[in-house]
A = this chain, B = another copy of it.
Amino acid sequence: MGTHLTGRSVRVLIGPEPKNLITRDMPEVKVSFEGFVGDRHAGLTRKADVRTPRFPRGALVRNTRQVSIVSTEELALIAEALGVPQVLAAWLGANLELAGVPRLTQLPPGTRLVFPEDATLVVEGENEPCRKVGRTVESHHPEQPGLANRFVKAAHERRGLVSWVERPGVIRPGDRVKVELPPAVAYSMPAVADPAVSKP
């Protein structure tokens, strides 16, 4: 089952409006197989878009981007890089802010986040920074033009993760979370001369 470390949830957030990126703090969230109940990203399936370029635009695929997660420490690093006092999880449209998990954005796919009231999330991968979020950050600091463009670089490898629900439950601010890394794997691409590769 691999090694694990421990963090804690700082806040849980919901974005109820389909067209509004910003999320808001909740005292708790119910977690179903669809995601955070009431959040605009909840659903068992989703239509492929720019975030899932491996599929044709509009193809119906499993929703592996149900819950977005950011890190308190990484938000502080983004703020520092931008020269602003703070960057809030809500501005990034995050559903969950965790503290105490080093280099959260680098957690590999398949990492499990296990919460005390049953909920378990599985990491799909990094949530890549976009200018849309950057514009939200900029709107809070209009005195700093160009923040939207600078956000993408400042948030590189710090913008957090997307994940999906493996087990339903409840998540609250202050919950301890166990972070279970998948077993270490040492798969590397075979050399081109490998006959299994050159004659598939």
Residues of A within 8 A of B (CB): 1, 3, 5-8, 33, 44-45, 53-55, 59-62, 64, 73, 99-103, 106-110, 112, 114, 118, 120, 122, 124-126, 164-168, 176, 180-183, 185-187, 189-190, 194, 196-197, 199-200
List B contacts of A168 (CB < 8 A).
60
Our pick among B5, B33, B186 for the contact of A197 (Cβ within 8 Å) is B5
Residues in B with CB closer than 8 Å to A44 are 33, 44
List residues of chain B with CB within 8 A of the CB of A55: 120, 167
**Can you list 22 pairs linking A and B with CB atoms under 8 Å apart?**
A3-B189, A5-B189, A5-B200, A33-B44, A44-B44, A55-B120, A60-B167, A60-B168, A61-B166, A62-B165, A62-B166, A62-B167, A73-B196, A100-B196, A101-B196, A102-B194, A103-B187, A103-B190, A107-B185, A109-B110, A176-B200, A181-B187
Q: In whole angstroms, what is the CA distance A55 to B108 when docked?
A: 21
CA distance A99 to B124 in the complex (A): 27
Residue among A45, A107, A108 with the highest chain B CB neighbour number at 10 A:
A108
Asked if residues A54 and B180 are in contact (CB atoms below 8 Å), the reply is yes
Interchain CB contact under 8 A, B5 and A190: yes
Rounded to whole angstroms, the CA-CA distance of A60 and B110 in the bound complex is 19
Q: Say whether B61 contacts A167, CB under 8 Å.
A: yes
* Least Cβ–Cβ distance between A147 and chain B, in angstroms: 27
What would 16 more interface pairs be, CB under 8 Å, given A54-B120, A108-B108, A109-B109?
Answer: A5-B190, A5-B197, A33-B44, A60-B167, A60-B168, A62-B167, A99-B196, A100-B200, A101-B196, A103-B190, A106-B185, A106-B187, A107-B185, A109-B110, A109-B182, A125-B182
